[in-house]
Amino acid sequence: MDSPTGRIRFALIGLLAAAAALGAGQLVAGFLGPGYGPLTVVGDAAVDLSPQPLKEWAIRAFGESDKTVLFAGAAVVLAAAAVLAGLGSRRRSGFGFAVIGLFGMAGLAAGIAERGARGAIAPLVAVIAGLAVFGLLRAAAVSNRVEPSIGRRRFLLGSVGVGAGAAVAWFVGDTLAGAGDTQRSRLAVGSLRPRTPAPPIPAGADFAGSGTPRFITPNPEFYRIDTALSVPAMRAEDYRLRVHGMVERELELGYEDLRERGLVAKTITMTCVSNEVGGEYISTATFVGVPIHEVLTEAGIRPGAQQVFSTSADGFTAGTPLDVLHDPRRGALLALGMNGEPLPAEHGFPVRMVTPGLYGYVSATKWLVDLEITTFAKQAYWEQRGWGKWGPIKTESRIDRPRAGERVPEGRTMLAGIAWAQHTGIEAVEVRVDGGPWQCAQLSTEVSADTWRMWRIPVELGRGEHTIQCRATDRSGYTQTEARADPVPDGATGWHTVLVTADPANR
């Protein structure tokens, strides 16, 4: 029993018990509210108990990562104690139970001291889970000595199960706690009143009755593109935006600093570069925020600067040409709100960028924390992965009705769809059936050059299969090309083409 494998097994039991304790504690904490996690509570207590000089030294030594260092330190101490507890209970289980109990008491004390009675719940659950897992796994390991084949199997399965369960519990609890924090913070933000409201959307701005999307995309339906697996949980209260690099003066702006500047509202159609011809990655919202050019002007741009390199809390980066962001007529925003509410967590709460006329991957960083003014040399996330550096949105159009493959009654049918050429504006949309002559569609009332425009046109369809195509012409006089291109590297092109079948009306 004192073989090296035996020792590893008992060390593992200790570690798994600790993992189970943390996972269970974090899961419960997720339901309790912000800051109830076992590690957070113990960390806070440790900070409170440590002498002032030590705190100052830690801040000097580790700066912004002091919290990470504290967490890492706590994890190392816990892991070491867990291994010891496991190894020390090879012959008798009492030692392990005692160590877990001791840590449980410390957690309980920290929880109550830092958060009151409610703070006792997560440590209690954690210690119970830790004791239970320790007891069960140890029993399995001991039976292994008696009945090696059965015990080994059971022990292995148990270990894997406990490890996976602890990880899932931790993840769920952590996500819940973060989402709760973010929602509370969003509610506390209240209403974001713009100094200059966006012009109202006229009744004729969409042809929703004929099958186009509504002009403003409701937030829950707005398309989403994320590189991160989970939505970053941020609070407006903690928000800091750093503006630095080739500037006269560095800025550090909190949420209220931005809000107090006088917000403007702007209705913008965003598009993803990954949108296929006919695709769904396009939506429109009225954003409320601070004009980016004002912030850049305040920082003072130094000669030679070319690019604004933005970084998100989740590590995503984008590089936007400085001249685009510095141009007041472009109207790029540091957006705080979307369609009358603070940004939803999925769309970048507390603050994101929105830039009319550029695909999102170069210009719409969500959960924005850093703006570095720099040269074009620096490469952002998608550029490093082979996508184009500039990302201007291409003039395109889409058929929404009828859908590809749809059966329509023969005779008169209304065709409808959307067209976009952000920051240039749509001049015309033409439609043709079965390769016939191009016919001009009716356009919806224009809201601005930065938003999509809807089109519709009635056509006669005889019985049988038909090919419907559309193409847009923008205000620069450019008609979208028929040449098919994939989204990689800088946006898809080609005419959206759908096949439909017209059936006899009275069957």
Ligand X SMILES: Nc1nc2c(c(=O)[nH]1)N[C@H]1C(S)=C(S)[C@@H](COP(=O)(O)O)O[C@H]1N2
In this structure, how many other beta carbons lie within 10 angstroms of the beta carbon of residue 249? 9
At its nearest, how many Å lie between ligand X and the CB of residue 35?
25
| H runs (alpha helix) in 33-120 | 38-49, 52-62, 66-87, 94-115
Q: Which does 347 bind (CB under 5 to 8 A by kind): Mo ion, ligand X, none?
A: ligand X
Q: Which of 417, 400, 242, 268 is nearest to 330 (CA)?
A: 268
Residues 400-429 that bind ligand X (CB under 6 A): none
Give the residues across from 333 on adjacent strands: 291, 354
Binding mask 29-68 for ligand X (x = CB under 6 A): ----------------------------------------
Q: Which does 226 bind (CB under 5 to 8 A by kind): ligand X, Mo ion, none?
A: ligand X
Q: Which does 222 bind (CB under 5 to 8 A by kind): ligand X, Mo ion, none?
A: ligand X
Residue 227 near ligand X by CB under 6 A: yes
Nearer to ligand X (CB atom), residue 36 or residue 316:
316
Q: Which of 315, 352, 338 is nearest to 229 (CA)?
A: 315
Q: Which of 360, 246, 365, 251 is nearest to 315 (CA)?
A: 365
- Say which residue the tokens 């329509």 belong to: 408
**List of E strands, 158-294:** 194-196, 240-245, 251-254, 263-271, 282-291
At its nearest, how many Å lie between ligand X and the CB of residue 181?
18
Residue 394 near ligand X by CB under 6 A: no
Q: Which does 172 bind (CB under 5 to 8 A by kind): Mo ion, ligand X, none?
A: none
Residue 367 near ligand X by CB under 6 A: yes
Nearer to ligand X (CB atom), residue 12 or residue 272:
272
- HEC assignment per residue over 404-450: CCCEEECEEEEEEEEEECCCCCEEEEEEEECCCCCEECEECCCCCCC
Radius of gyration of the chain (CA): 30
Which helix H or strand E contains 337, and what residues bound it?
Answer: strand 333-338
Residue 226 near ligand X by CB under 6 A: yes
At 465, the amino acid letter reads E
List residues binding Mo ion (CB under 5 A): 225, 272-273, 360-361
Buried b (16+ CB within 10 A) or exposed e, 429-456: bbbbbeeeeeeebebbeebbbbbbbbbb
| Region near ligand X per CB under 6 A, out of 37-45, 208-216, 220-228, 411-419 | 220-228
Q: Which does 312 bind (CB under 5 to 8 A by kind): Mo ion, ligand X, none?
A: ligand X
Residue 370 near ligand X by CB under 6 A: no
At its nearest, how many Å lie between ligand X and the CB of residue 473?
25
Residue 230 near ligand X by CB under 6 A: no
Q: How many CA atoms lie within 13 A of 103 on its CB side?
A: 30
Nearer to ligand X (CB atom), residue 107 or residue 392:
392
Between CA 166 and CA 201 the distance in angstroms is 50
At its nearest, how many Å lie between ligand X and the CB of residue 320?
11
Residues 344-363 that bind ligand X (CB under 6 A): 347, 360-361
Q: Which does 239 bind (CB under 5 to 8 A by kind): Mo ion, ligand X, none?
A: none
- 158 with 210: CB under 8 angstroms? no
Sign of the C-alpha dihedral, residues 330, 335, 340, 343? positive
Q: Which does 403 bind (CB under 5 to 8 A by kind): Mo ion, ligand X, none?
A: none
Nearer to ligand X (CB atom), residue 182 or residue 210:
182
- 457 with 414: CB under 8 angstroms? yes
Between CA 120 and CA 109 the distance in angstroms is 8
At its nearest, how many Å lie between ligand X and the CB of residue 190?
22
- Say which residue the tokens 């969409």 belong to: 206
Nearer to Mo ion (CB atom), residue 172 or residue 225:
225
Residue 366 near ligand X by CB under 6 A: yes
At its nearest, how many Å lie between Mo ion and the CB of residue 368?
15
Size of the site for ligand X (CB under 6 A): 18
Tell me how far apart the 2 most distant CA atoms of the chain are, in Å.
89
358-359-362 Cα angle (round to 5): 85
Provide the total of helices (H) and of strands (E) in the chain, helices listed first. Answer: 11, 20
Nearer to Mo ion (CB atom), residue 97 or residue 382:
382
Residues 260-319 that bind ligand X (CB under 6 A): 270, 272, 312, 314, 316
Q: Which of 225, 428, 485, 488 binds ligand X (CB under 6 A)?
A: 225
Q: Residue of minimal CB distance from ligand X? A: 360
Q: Which of 207, 222, 287, 349 binds ligand X (CB under 6 A)?
A: 222
Nearer to Mo ion (CB atom), residue 273 or residue 325:
273
> Using CB under 6 A as the criterion, which residues of the chain lie in contact with ligand X when the complex forms?
222-227, 270, 272, 312, 314, 316, 347, 360-361, 364-367
